[in-house]
Amino acid sequence: MSKKMHIKLNVNGKDEEFLAEPRELLIYTLRERLNITGPHIGCETSHCGACTVTIDGKSVKSCTMFAAQADGKEITTIEGIGTPDSLHPLQEAFKEHHGLQCGYCTPGMITRATKLLEENPNPSEEDIRFGMAGNLCRCTGYQNIVKSILAAAAEMNAAKEAAE
Amino acid sequence: MKDEVESRDDRVANLKGMGCSRKRVEDARFTQGKGNYVDDIKLDGMLFGDFVRSPYAHARITSINAEEALKVPGVLAVLTAADLEPLGLHWMPTLAGDKQMVLADGKVLFQGQEVAFVVAEDRFAAADGIEAVEVEYEELPVIVDPFEAMKTDVVLREDLVADDGSIPDGAHGPRTHPNHIFTWEAGEKEATQQVLDNAEVLVEESMYYHRTHPCPLETCGCVASMDKVNGKLTLWGTFQAPHAIRTVVSLISGIEEHNIRVVSPDIGGGFGNKVGAYPGYVCSVVASIVTGKPVKWIEDRMDNLMTTAFARDYHMTGKISATKEGKITGLHCHVTADHGGFDACADPTKFPAGFMNICTGSYDIPTAFLEVDGVYTNKAPGGVSYRCSFRVTEAVYFIERMVEVLAIELGMDAAELRRINFIKKEQFPYKAALGWEYDSGDYHTAWDKALTSVDYDGLRAEQAQRVEDFKAGKTRKLMGVGLSFFTEIVGAGPVKNCDILGLGMFDSCEIRIHPTGSAIARLGTISQGQGHATTFAQILASEIGLPADSITIEEGDTDTAPYGLGTYGSRSTPVAGAATAMAGRKIRAKAQMIAAYLLEVHDNDVEFDVDRFVVKGAPEKFKTMKEIAFAAYNQAIPGIEPGLEAVSYYDPPNMTYPFGAYVCVMDIDVDTGVPEIRRFYALDDCGTRINPMIIEGQVHGGLTEALAVALGQEIAYDDMGNVKTGTLMDFFLPTAWEVPNYETDHTVTPSPHHPIGAKGVGESPHVGGVPCFSNAVHDAFRAFGLRQTNMPHDHWRIWKTANELGLHD
C-alpha cells in the first residue's frame, strides 16, 4: 500500500476532504466513502456508462478514474440533478416515456443526457443515438430513451423560449 | 359525493386498471438515483469476499497456500474446499439434479472456476489477498468440443464414475459415457423415421446455436449477515427466485428455514442470469458465520461473463419432411447440448432439456421426434434461459430455420410455406406431436396482418430488383427479408409436471385491504425491471375496484411475501398474475357479502360494477369498495369475520402459449459484412394486455437482446478452454447507435384457462427476434445459394459468407 493522498472534491455542491490510497477509484469514493449510490458499477472497463458523472463540465466514467485524478474538481452525480419536488425535465421525460426498466443504467444515462443537451440543445435522433452510445442499456432497446431525450429537449427549449 | 357525479367511464379511468398505459411507480426512485440494489447495501462492519479463480480450464490442484495472503493488511480469512468440507458445503446441489463444487475440490473443470474465497475489509484488500494466494495446478487435457467429449478417454467428472469403472445412472436416467449427462426423448421415434423414409421431400440441416450470456447490467451478488445473537441469517441478493433460494440455503446449511430471511432488493436486470444458486452465495454465508460479520460478494464483469449462467450452446440437427406441395409431414431433431463442467441448467426437474419439445413450433406437424444428449465439457456451468422460457429460444430458432431451409428446397416462398402449415384457429386447444397442448391461437390472422403491414409482396419485388442490380454491378448491397412466426410456451407451470428441486411451480399473492380503502399486495415473484409494482396493481384495481394508485405491491422479502417460485420464463403474469386476480376475487366475494349487508339486501341481489357493488336493477343504491373496506373494519357484521384480506396460491392448469409474427428488412454490404436494419415489424399476441406501454417496452428490449445474440454476441472459447469474450470489449452489447426503431403491433387471443386471459410477453420478442434477424441475413444470400450459416452473424462471418459464395470475385 502506498502513502495516502489528501484529496479535496466538490460533489453536488458539497465540499469533501479525505485521505485515500492513490489506487482508490472515483466510483468507490462516491459509493463507499460518500454514500452516493446513484452512479452504479456495471463493467469497470469504461464500456457500460452506469457510473457516468459530470466532472468540470464533462461526462466521465467514474469507474476508470482515480479519486486522486479528480482532486480539486467539481463533480455532479444523479443526486445533484433535480430534486423530488422539482425533477429535471430529463427525469420527468424518462418517467413519461418509459425510458427505463430495471433502472440500473438510468442514473448514468440521465447524467450523460444532461451534458448532451447542454452541448446540443436541439439534437436529432441520430445525434442522440451517437451521443449516448457510451451508455449501455440491456432492458429498453434505447427506443424510449431516445424518445425521452427528444421530449426533454423540446420541453427545455419551450421553457427557455417562454422565459425569454 | 364525488362518485355520484362521475360517469362510469370516469370511474374506470380513475382505477388505472387493466388495459391502460399507466406510468410506472418504480420510476421516481430510479430516475433520482434512489434505487436500492444489492451493492448499495452497507452494514456495520461489513466485509468483502472475492474469489481466487482458476486460470486453467482443466487441471488438478496439488496445493493451495494461503499463508502469504493472510499476512496482507485487511485480509481476515481465506476459505478453501478443505474448510467447507467439514460443513458438507464444498459441493452443492444444482437445479438440474447434479452437484457442483462450491470451491475447487482437488481439480478445476473450467476457466474462472472458484478455487478459494478471500474475505477482507474492503474489495481492494480482497484483491491484494487474491494475488497472494498460491495455488499449484497440474494441467489436464482440455475438452471444449461436446462431440469429442463423448469419444475421449479424458474423464471430466471422476466423481460420477464408480470405482469399478462403470457409469452409474444420472438424475435423468442411464449414461453411456463418463462425460455423458443424459439422453432425453420426446415423441415417436419409429413413426417419425417411417414418415421421413417415405417422404416426398426431405431436408436435413445442422445448425449450432452458440453459447452466449444474459449479461444484465448489474452483475450477481449478495450480502450475507449471520446474527449469532438471534440465530438468524439474512441474505440479500440478486435472486430471481428468493423463496427457492431460502429453501436451498436451509437444505444445504441445516439452518432452519424460519431462521433464514432472503431479500431480493431492486435488481438491475436478470434475463435468467440470476435464477441459479452460485458459489458466491454459499461462501458469503459461510464467511459470515465464520467471521460473525456481514459479508458482501459482488461479481465483476469478467466473473459474470466467465462463470455464472451461460445460455444456449446447442448443436442441433434436423430433418423435416413434406409433400411436394409443402405440407409438412414429419420432424426429427437431435441436439448435442454442451452443459459445461457441471449440469447446472435451470430447468424444471422433469425437463433436462427444458421445453425444447416445443420445437414443432406453430405448425401442424403430425409426427415428430426429439432427442437431446447432454454432455460435460471444460466450460462454465449454467444453461439458463436467457430471456426465454426453458430452451424455447433454441426450439424456435430450430424450427424457424428448418422451415426456411424447406422453403429453399421446395423453391417456395417462406411466408406461404408457413401459412399452409400453421395450426388453424379451430384446432385449438391443439395437442402437438411432442406432447404440449397449445391453449389458444389465431396464427393466420396475425400472419396476414403482419405481411400486409410491411407490404410483403412489395418487399419481395424490391428484393428481386436488388438482386438484378447486384448482378448488373449497380449495387454492392443485398437485401434480406427475415421472417419468423413463433409460439412460446411460458408460465411454468402446473405442479403436476413442473417443479424445481421438488418445489411445485405455483405462485402466490396475498392482499390486505386497509380500512381507508387502500391496499398492499405481496407476491412470490420479483421484478427485475418488468414493472410488477405497476402492472400487478392494475390487475388488482380491475378486480377489486380500488385505484391502482392506492395499491402498494411488494415482492422479494421471504419474511413477508407468500411463497412463490420467482420471476423467469415469463411466468410472473401467467402464474402470479393469475394468483393476484384470484386473490382479488376472494376479496370481492367477501366485499359482496358486506355490501349486501350494508344495503340490506340478499348477497345475490348486488353486483360488482367497476369500483362498487350496486343493487341489481337499482344502480342508485350502491356501496363503493372504499366504503366496504371501512365497514370491514368498523362494524360487527353477523357471520362475517372482521378485516378484508385474502391469499391465493395458484397452480396453473396449463402453460400459456403467446405467439407473434415478426418481419425484419435488412441491407447487407457484401464488401464489409455490415448489416443495416432498415425496418423491424413485431406483432405480438400475449393474450389480454395489461399495460400496453410496458408491453411495448418489453418488446423493444427483447428485440434488442435478440439483435445482440443473432448479430454478434457470444461466449467463445479457444482450444485450451480460455474464454475469449470475457469483457464488454469482446462481448457484444448493442449501443443506441446499432439499434433500430421497432414497429410494434398486436392481436389479442386471450388464454382460455387464465383468469384474466393474459399469457406473458417479456420473452416473446427475444424468442421470435433471434430467428427473424438470422433469417434476414440468410435471406439476403438465398438467391446466391446460401442454405445455412451459423450465428452470430457478425461482420466478419457475414463477409466470409459473401466470400464463400463468390460474391467478392
Segment B753-780, tens digit of pLDDT: 999 999 999 999 999 999 999 999 999 9
What's the gap in Å between the CA of A38 and the closest CA on chain B?
Answer: 4
Cα–Cα distance list, B351 to B143, B393, B492, B499, B661 (Å): 26, 15, 11, 9, 27
Number of A/B CB contacts below 8 angstroms equals: 174
Q: Which residues in chain B are contacts of A3 at CB distance < 8 A?
A: none
* Residues paired with residue B645 on neighbouring β-strands, in sequence order: B512
Report the run of H or E that residue B765 belongs to, with start and end: helix B764-780
Interchain pair A1, B73: CB under 8 A: yes
Q: Could you tell me which chain B residue has the CA closest to the CA of A87?
A: B32
**Is residue B569 very low, low, confident or very high in pLDDT (cuts 50, 70, 90)?**
confident
Interchain pair A42, B301: CB under 8 A: yes
Q: Roughly how many angstroms between the first and final C-alpha of chain A, as a whole number?
A: 56
Q: Is A128 in the B-facing interface, judged by CB distances under 8 Å?
A: yes
Mean pLDDT for B161-186 is: 97
pLDDT reading at B2 higher than 60: no
- The class that CATH gives domain B311-492+655-804 is alpha beta
Q: Is A39 in the B-facing interface, judged by CB distances under 8 Å?
A: yes
Q: Is A51 in the B-facing interface, judged by CB distances under 8 Å?
A: no
Mean pLDDT for B540-545 is: 98
Interchain pair B124, A24: CB under 8 A: yes
Q: Could you tell me which chain B residue has the CA closest to the CA of A30?
A: B40
Cα–Cα distance list, B628 to B497, B514, B522, B591, B637 (Å): 41, 11, 21, 6, 12
Interchain pair A104, B269: CB under 8 A: yes
Measure the CA–CA gap between A36 and A20, rounded to whole angstroms: 17
Measure the CA–CA gap between B401 and B383, rounded to whole angstroms: 22
Q: Tell me the three cell numbers of residue B378.
A: 471444460
What's the gap in Å between the CA of A164 and the closest CA on chain B?
Answer: 29
Mean pLDDT for B101-110 is: 98
Interchain pair B37, A31: CB under 8 A: no
Question: Shortest CB distance from B700 goes to which of A31, A40, A144?
Answer: A144
What sign does the CA torsion over B347, B350, B351, B355 have?
Answer: negative
Report the run of H or E that residue A163 belongs to, with start and end: helix A143-163
pTM across the whole model = 0.97
Candidate list B387, B401, B571, B588, residue with the active-site label: B387
Q: Is ipTM strictly over 0.90? A: yes
Segment A56-100, tens digit of pLDDT: 999 999 999 999 999 999 999 999 999 999 999 999 999 999 999
Candidate list B240, B528, B538, B713, residue with the active-site label: B240
Return the domain boundaries, chain B: 3-35+507-650, 38-142+219-267+275-307, 311-492+655-804
Taking residue B257's Cβ as centre, other Cβ atoms within 10 Å add up to 14
| Mean pLDDT, chain B, integer | 97
Segment B218-244, tens digit of pLDDT: 999 999 999 999 999 999 999 999 999
Measure the CA–CA gap between A39 and A51, rounded to whole angstroms: 5
Measure the CA–CA gap between B48 and B127, rounded to whole angstroms: 10
What's the gap in Å between the CA of B272 and the closest CA on chain A?
Answer: 13
Contact B647, B562 (CB under 8 A): yes
Asked if omega into B652 is within 30° of 0 (cis), the reply is no
Q: For testing the chain B interface, which of A37, A101, A110 should be mutated: the one with the most B CBs within 10 Å?
A: A101
Residues of chain A short of pLDDT 70, as ranges, are 1
Taking alpha carbons only, the member of B149, B71, B65 closest to residue B109 is B149
Interchain pair A101, B697: CB under 8 A: yes
pLDDT reading at B4 higher than 70: no
Q: For testing the chain A interface, which of B217, B694, B698, B741 should be mutated: the one with the most A CBs within 10 Å?
A: B217
Q: Which residues in chain B are contacts of A123 at CB distance < 8 A?
A: none
What does CATH list as the number for B38-142+219-267+275-307? 3.90.1170.50
Q: For testing the chain B interface, which of A139, A140, A147, A149 should be mutated: the one with the most B CBs within 10 Å?
A: A139
Segment B394-416, tens digit of pLDDT: 999 999 999 999 999 999 999 99
DSSP B201: E
Percent of chain B predicted with pLDDT > 90 = 98
Contact B135, B64 (CB under 8 A): yes
Residue B387 annotated in active site: yes
Segment B704-749, tens digit of pLDDT: 999 999 999 999 999 999 999 999 999 999 999 999 999 999 999 9
Interchain pair B529, A139: CB under 8 A: yes
Q: Which residues in chain A are contacts of B217 at CB distance < 8 A?
A: 40, 42, 48, 50, 102, 104-105, 136-138
Contact B184, B353 (CB under 8 A): yes
Q: Which residues in chain A are contacts of B301 at CB distance < 8 A?
A: 42-45
Report the run of H or E that residue A107 belongs to, with start and end: helix A106-119
Q: Tell me the three cell numbers of residue A31.
A: 459509493
What's the gap in Å between the CA of A119 and the closest CA on chain B?
Answer: 18
**Is residue B5 very low, low, confident or very high in pLDDT (cuts 50, 70, 90)?**
low
Interchain pair B733, A138: CB under 8 A: yes
Mean pLDDT for B614-622 is: 96
Query: Which of the four CATH numbers 3.40.50.460, 3.30.365.10, 3.40.50.280, 3.40.980.10 does domain B3-35+507-650 have?
Result: 3.30.365.10
Segment B364-384, tens digit of pLDDT: 999 999 999 999 999 999 999
Question: Shortest CB distance from B30 goes to which of A37, A100, A128?
Answer: A100
Distance from CA of residue B465 to its chain's centroid? Answer: 41
Contact B371, B185 (CB under 8 A): yes
Question: Shortest CB distance from A140 goes to which of B28, B267, B700?
Answer: B700
What's the gap in Å between the CA of A139 and the closest CA on chain B?
Answer: 5
Q: Which residues in chain B are contacts of A144 at CB distance < 8 A?
A: 697, 700
Question: Shortest CB distance from A141 goes to which of B40, B124, B703?
Answer: B703
What's the gap in Å between the CA of A161 and the closest CA on chain B?
Answer: 26
Q: Would you say the CATH fold of B38-142+219-267+275-307 matches that of B3-35+507-650?
A: no
- Residues 63-92 in A contacting B (C-alpha not used; CB under 8 Å): 77-79, 82, 84, 87, 91
Interchain pair A100, B29: CB under 8 A: no
Q: Could you tell me which chain A residue has the CA closest to the CA of B40?
A: A37
Residue B240 annotated in active site: yes
Which pairs from B151-159 meet CB under 8 Å and 24+ separation? B151/B177, B152/B179, B154/B58, B154/B179, B155/B179, B156/B58, B156/B109, B156/B341, B156/B376, B156/B377, B156/B378, B157/B109, B157/B341, B157/B376, B158/B107, B159/B99
Q: Tell me the three cell numbers of residue B102.
A: 462450491
- What was the pLDDT predicted at A164? 87
Interchain pair A133, B528: CB under 8 A: no
Question: Shortest CB distance from B23 goes to which of A37, A95, A129?
Answer: A95
**Is residue B1 very low, low, confident or very high in pLDDT (cuts 50, 70, 90)?**
very low
Interchain pair A103, B300: CB under 8 A: no
Candidate list B215, B222, B359, B388, residue with the active-site label: B388
What's the gap in Å between the CA of B800 and the closest CA on chain A?
Answer: 28
